[in-house]
């Protein structure tokens, strides 16, 4: 040992050699995907000594034993997601994979027998199957209503097969491969080119499914198909999927490598958003692990500057304080890093990403590990008390494979245990799961949504809600611009709600500066959502004197060639406390409009701004919130409630307030969002229940600058100035506002005076 320590070059060289020799051996043996013979040996040595791993084994064993007791059930496919046959086949893939792993680790043959029997049953069923009877999908499967789920099945079944490969005799293997795996892999690739030959989370699953089974069966042709896509697919250009997403662009590369290359930005942001990144990360990571085990020469974890590991971090950063993903684009609220996919992601990122001890804190919260060497590495790290906290800082994640298609910025300010988080989206369209919400934002206090992003309109896997699939309201409401906290011009969604147009453009970052933790800024522009209209939104998470908590300053500048109507909605949760403007509540409720999502909003209140400042307060989750807008008497205020034209009650009855400016060419919306105080129904104490802001004023605006002042009831005035046309950090500026001269260096200036 001493000799190695003193001669690291020697150690590396020797180990490297051993590794290459050994890995070639591994590639010829089984298991070889997420488990290897060597890895299994190492795990067996540690069994019973590493609590987190042992607990995970016990949990998995319990699940599998129950299913073995129930017996093998392989029904004829019939239902949508949520329905019996769907859920049964889904359970089969999950349990089969677990049983395979248990066989390897525990050595108990009953698990191998279970996997073998199930694969034999599938081998018998599969050749008899026509396309799945449900016809909704653009790419129907055979076991499931969509080929996507067929691919899910194969990703897991490959692992199960890999684990019991040696246990199953050559004769039965031949049957299984001939009747099941080969035609299965062909069907989801050659048989479903519109699904397989694409850059999309769906295709990632397809590519990985084919790649995994290729590795198990040592099928070079299949592996090439998985890695590089189909050479010929005969797909007509402009073809769309069931969600309206474009299937394939001209000259599009496909296959696994293209699916790593393109959707991830250099920062690891996945263009569809965190919900689908979570979904796709499992195949990305387990296949990378399998490739590392079988084809280490590929150095897959180094691909695109280590993008897979980076994307794991991006994903962990795209969560609120409870680990729930921000529901950007189509995202189901509540999905979090506690999901099984993220257990795999965190474990694999730990082992293959340099054993970052902060990942162990996430693993500890997850309370379980993947049953392979990555999971064992994590469990050992936890056992050896290496854990460090995973600290989420403010971050700006670029979008687009070149990082040049806008991005998503997350500004965080944590004071003791209280965290305020702004999520500002200035990204590209986000593929078929993208929403038309340029320059939109959501705002959190800890895990409470202060101002929400609606997320998707779907009850994933709940059969009685449209077969668990996307609901009509996802298109008519959730994707529309009005469903988001951003500007809508003339009651028409960005890009006219057209995916093909939207997919061509992205917003542009103007400034991201968090160098001063008390004045954190994201500023971005959007010139294409409405041709002829330039939009520039600047949001500042501002920790300043006289306030219990940081303020969120929102400056939204619009400049159009012609006069338009602008609506700027804010969707709050909880209950309104007070409003300082007059409004009327109609005797009967009518929808706000006819299309682009407006048809889903009831007009609960119609008012006019009367003061220089319009204030609106609400109570949610034991906290008070107040918005203070700099307004003019011409501004209309609309209190809206979701739920119109929603005959199946698919939408939540959430509330919003819209500020409307009619017949306006150029204007700036200025708003300050204040989180303050608390209320408990147990103590019945209302603490700091009122806004501390007495005035918000747009004190300066010209072609090059915008300035806003915020006055506190204690007379303190906070001033923020942004140079809107020069974001250089070294530029000197001089500006006179209200007979006072301000000079500074860099894109912005802020001060607080009394």
Shortest distance, CB of residue 686 to a copy of itself, whole angstroms?
Answer: 5
| x/- map, 690-709, a copy of itself, by CB under 8 A | x-------------------
Shortest distance, CB of residue 544 to a copy of itself, whole angstroms?
Answer: 24
Residue among 46, 166, 321, 336 that touches a copy of itself (CB under 8 A):
336
**Which one, 322 or 543, has the nearer CB to a copy of itself?**
322
Burial 455-478 (b: 16+ CB within 10 A, else e): bbbbbebebebbbbbbbebbebbb
User: Does the protein bind a copy of itself through residue 646 (CB under 8 A)?
Assistant: yes
Residue among 128, 575, 730, 743 that touches a copy of itself (CB under 8 A):
575
User: Does the protein bind a copy of itself through residue 464 (CB under 8 A)?
Assistant: yes
Q: 126 catalytic, yes or no?
A: no
User: Does the protein bind a copy of itself through residue 2 (CB under 8 A)?
Assistant: no
Name the one range near a copy of itself by CB under 8 A: 32-40, 151-159, 602-610, 708-716. Answer: 602-610
Residue 510 in contact with residue 525, Cβ under 8 Å? yes
Q: Which of 433, 435, 484, 600 is catalytic?
A: 433
Name the one range near a copy of itself by CB under 8 A: 309-317, 512-520, 571-579, 738-746. Answer: 571-579
User: Does the protein bind a copy of itself through residue 468 (CB under 8 A)?
Assistant: yes
Quote the tokens at residue 446: 């800890």
Shortest distance, CB of residue 682 to a copy of itself, whole angstroms?
Answer: 5
User: Does the protein bind a copy of itself through residue 594 (CB under 8 A)?
Assistant: no
Shortest distance, CB of residue 360 to a copy of itself, whole angstroms?
Answer: 20
User: Does the protein bind a copy of itself through residue 582 (CB under 8 A)?
Assistant: no
Shortest distance, CB of residue 587 to a copy of itself, whole angstroms?
Answer: 8
What residues are paired with 542 via a beta bridge? 519, 551
The label of the residue with tokens 């959707």 reads 263
**Which one, 175 or 589, has the nearer CB to a copy of itself?**
589
Shortest distance, CB of residue 114 to a copy of itself, whole angstroms?
Answer: 21
Distances (CA, A) of 593 to 302, 436, 640: 51, 18, 11
Distances (CA, A) of 403 to 251, 262, 424, 508, 511: 20, 10, 16, 11, 15
- Residue 645 CB partners (closer than 8 Å, separation 6+): 476, 591, 599, 600
| x/- map, 62-101, a copy of itself, by CB under 8 A | --------------------x----x--------------
Burial 153-173 (b: 16+ CB within 10 A, else e): bbbbbbbbbbbbbebbeeeeb
Instruction: Tell me how far apart the alpha carbons of residues 139 and 128 are, in angstroms, rounded to a whole number.
Output: 19
Helices (H), 386-440: none
Instruction: Tell me how far apart the alpha carbons of residues 522 and 424 are, in angstroms, rounded to a whole number.
Output: 8
Residue among 460, 501, 573, 606 that touches a copy of itself (CB under 8 A):
460
Name the one range near a copy of itself by CB under 8 A: 171-179, 353-361, 403-411, 638-646. Answer: 638-646
User: Does the protein bind a copy of itself through residue 463 (CB under 8 A)?
Assistant: yes
Name the one range near a copy of itself by CB under 8 A: 253-261, 416-424, 646-654, 726-734. Answer: 646-654
Shortest distance, CB of residue 607 to a copy of itself, whole angstroms?
Answer: 11
User: Does the protein bind a copy of itself through residue 683 (CB under 8 A)?
Assistant: yes
Name the one range near a copy of itself by CB under 8 A: 130-138, 337-345, 430-438, 532-540. Answer: 337-345
Q: 202 catalytic, yes or no?
A: no
- Residue 180 phi, psi dihedral angles, 5° rounding: -120, -70
What residues are paired with 294 via a beta bridge? none
With contacts defined by CB under 8 A, how many residues of the chain interact with a copy of itself?
Answer: 55
Shortest distance, CB of residue 680 to a copy of itself, whole angstroms?
Answer: 8
User: Does the protein bind a copy of itself through residue 595 (CB under 8 A)?
Assistant: no
- Beta strand pairing status for 636-642 and 655-676? antiparallel
User: Does the protein bind a copy of itself through residue 602 (CB under 8 A)?
Assistant: yes
Name the one range near a copy of itself by CB under 8 A: 186-194, 597-605, 661-669, 705-713. Answer: 597-605
Is-cis flag, bond preceding 31, omega within 30? Answer: yes
Q: Which of 165, 276, 512, 571 is catalytic?
A: 276
Instruction: Tell me how far apart the alpha carbons of residues 226 and 254 are, in angstroms, rounded to a whole number.
Output: 9
**What is the DSSP code (8-state) at residue 432?**
G
Residue among 22, 138, 338, 744 that touches a copy of itself (CB under 8 A):
338
Residue among 62, 340, 666, 713 that touches a copy of itself (CB under 8 A):
340
User: Does the protein bind a copy of itself through residue 462 (CB under 8 A)?
Assistant: yes
User: Does the protein bind a copy of itself through residue 731 (CB under 8 A)?
Assistant: no
Shortest distance, CB of residue 526 to a copy of itself, whole angstroms?
Answer: 31
Name the one range near a copy of itself by CB under 8 A: 408-416, 444-452, 489-497, 581-589. Answer: 581-589
Instruction: Tell me how far apart the alpha carbons of residues 301 and 283 are, in angstroms, rounded to a whole number.
Output: 14
Shortest distance, CB of residue 316 to a copy of itself, whole angstroms?
Answer: 15
User: What is the gyration radius of the CA atoms in the chain, in angstroms?
Assistant: 28
Quote the tokens at residue 447: 């895990």
Distances (CA, A) of 80 to 86, 137, 146, 174: 6, 10, 9, 32
- Residue 425 phi, psi dihedral angles, 5° rounding: -110, 120
Does residue 319 sit in helix, strand or coil?
Answer: strand
DSSP secondary structure of 469-499: SB-HHIIIIITSGGGSSS-EETTB-GGGG-H
Residue among 604, 635, 636, 674 that touches a copy of itself (CB under 8 A):
604
Dihedral Cα 575, 580, 581, 585, nearest 10 deg: 30
Residue 599 in contact with residue 482, Cβ under 8 Å? no
- Residue 300 phi, psi dihedral angles, 5° rounding: -60, -30
Q: Alpha-carbon torsion 9, 11, 14, 20, what sign?
A: negative
Shortest distance, CB of residue 457 to a copy of itself, whole angstroms?
Answer: 11
Residue among 99, 285, 478, 655 that touches a copy of itself (CB under 8 A):
655
Instruction: Tell me how far apart the alpha carbons of residues 318 and 539 are, in angstroms, rounded to a whole number.
Output: 18
User: Does the protein bind a copy of itself through residue 573 (CB under 8 A)?
Assistant: no
What residues are paired with 413 via a beta bridge? 420
Q: Alpha-carbon torsion 212, 213, 218, 219, what sign?
A: negative
Instruction: Tell me how far apart the alpha carbons of residues 450 and 671 are, in angstroms, rounded to a whole number.
Output: 14
| x/- map, 162-201, a copy of itself, by CB under 8 A | ----------------------------------------
Name the one range near a copy of itself by CB under 8 A: 110-118, 373-381, 556-564, 637-645. Answer: 637-645
Distances (CA, A) of 654 to 574, 642, 650, 749: 9, 5, 12, 37
**What is the DSSP code (8-state) at residue 428?**
B
User: Does the protein bind a copy of itself through residue 230 (CB under 8 A)?
Assistant: no
Catalytic sites, residue numbers: 276, 433
Interaction site with a copy of itself (CB under 8 A): 82, 87, 332-336, 338-340, 459-465, 468, 575-578, 584-585, 587-591, 602, 604-605, 617, 619, 639, 641, 643, 645-649, 652-653, 655, 679-686, 689-690
């Amino acid at each position: 040992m001493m000799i190695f320590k003193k001669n690291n070059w020697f150690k590396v060289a020797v180990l490297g050699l051993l590794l290459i020799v050994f890995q070639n051996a591994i590639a010829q043996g089984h298991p070889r995907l997420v488990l290897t013979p060597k890895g299994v040996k190492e795990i067996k040595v540690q069994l019973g000594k590493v609590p987190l791993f042992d607990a995970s084994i016990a949990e998995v064993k319990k699940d599998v034993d129950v299913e073995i007791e129930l017996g093998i059930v392989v029904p004829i496919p019939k239902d949508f997601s949520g329905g019996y046959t769907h859920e049964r086949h889904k359970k089969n893939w999950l349990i089969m994979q677990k049983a395979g792993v248990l066989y390897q680790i525990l050595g108990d043959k009953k698990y191998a027998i279970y996997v073998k029997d199930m694969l034999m049953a599938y081998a018998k069923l599969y050749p008899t199957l026509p396309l799945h009877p449900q016809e909704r999908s653009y790419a129907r499967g055979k076991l499931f209503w969509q080929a996507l789920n067929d691919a899910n099945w194969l990703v897991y079944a490959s692992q199960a097969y890999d684990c019991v490969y040696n246990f199953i005799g050559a004769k039965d293997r031949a049957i299984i491969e001939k009747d099941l795996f080969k035609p299965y892999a062909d069907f989801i690739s050659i048989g479903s080119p519109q699904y397989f030959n694409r850059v999309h989370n769906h295709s990632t699953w397809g590519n990985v499914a084919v790649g995994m089974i290729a590795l198990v069966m040592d099928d070079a042709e299949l592996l090439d198909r998985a890695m590089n896509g189909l050479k010929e697919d005969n797909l007509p250009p402009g073809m769309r999927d069931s969600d309206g997403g474009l299937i394939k662009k001209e000259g599009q590369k496909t296959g696994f490598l293209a699916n790593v290359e393109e959707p991830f930005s250099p920062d690891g942001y996945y263009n569809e958003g965190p919900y689908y990144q979570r979904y796709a990360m499992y195949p990305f990571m387990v296949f990378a692990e399998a490739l590392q085990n079988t084809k280490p020469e590929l150095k897959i974890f180094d691909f695109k500057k280590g993008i897979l590991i980076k994307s794991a971090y991006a994903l962990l950063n795209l969560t609120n304080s409870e680990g729930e993903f921000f529901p950007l684009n189509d995202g189901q609220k509540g999905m979090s890093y506690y999901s099984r996919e993220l257990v795999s992601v965190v474990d694999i990122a730990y082992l293959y990403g340099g054993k970052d001890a902060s990942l162990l804190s996430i693993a500890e919260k997850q309370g379980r590990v993947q049953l392979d060497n990555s999971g064992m590495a994590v469990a050992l790290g936890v056992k050896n008390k290496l854990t460090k906290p995973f600290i989420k800082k403010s971050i700006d994640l670029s979008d687009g494979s070149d990082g040049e298609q806008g991005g998503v910025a997350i500004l965080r300010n944590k004071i003791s245990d209280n965290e305020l988080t702004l999520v500002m989206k200035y990204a590209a369209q986000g593929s078929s799961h993208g929403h038309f919400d340029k320059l939109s934002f959501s705002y959190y206090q800890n895990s409470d949504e202060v101002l929400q992003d609606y997320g998707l309109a779907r009850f994933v896997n709940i059969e009685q809600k449209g077969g668990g699939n996307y609901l009509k309201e996802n298109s008519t409401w959730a994707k529309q611009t009005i469903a988001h906290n951003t500007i809508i011009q003339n009651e028409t969604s960005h890009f006219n709600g057209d995916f093909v147009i939207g997919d061509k453009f992205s917003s542009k970052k103007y400034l991201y500066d968090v160098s001063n933790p008390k004045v954190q800024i994201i500023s971005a522009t959007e010139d294409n959502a409405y041709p002829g209209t330039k939009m520039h939104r600047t949001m500042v998470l501002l920790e300043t004197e006289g306030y219990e908590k940081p303020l969120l300053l929102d400056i939204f500048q619009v400049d159009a060639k012609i006069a338009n109507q602008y609506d700027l909605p804010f969707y709050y949760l909880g209950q309104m406390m007070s409003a300082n403007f007059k409004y009327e509540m109609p005797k009967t409720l009518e929808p706000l409009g006819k299309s682009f999502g407006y048809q889903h909003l009831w007009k609960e209140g119609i008012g006019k701004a009367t003061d220089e400042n319009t204030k609106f307060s609400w109570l949610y989750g034991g906290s008070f919130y107040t918005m203070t807008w700099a307004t003019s008497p011409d501004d209309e205020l609309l209190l809206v409630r979701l739920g119109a034209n929603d005959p199946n009650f698919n939408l939540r009855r959430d509330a919003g307030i819209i500020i409307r400016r009619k017949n306006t060419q150029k204007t700036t919306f200025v708003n300050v969002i204040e989180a303050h105080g608390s209320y408990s129904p147990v103590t019945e104490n209302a603490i700091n229940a009122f806004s501390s802001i007495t005035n918000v004023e747009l004190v300066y605006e010209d072609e090059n600058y915008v300035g806003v002042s915020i006055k506190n009831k204690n007379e303190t005035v906070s001033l923020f100035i942004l140079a809107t046309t020069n974001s250089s950090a070294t530029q000197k500026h001089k500006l006179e506002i209200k007979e006072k001269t301000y000079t500074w260096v860099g894109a912005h200036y802020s001060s607080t005076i009394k």
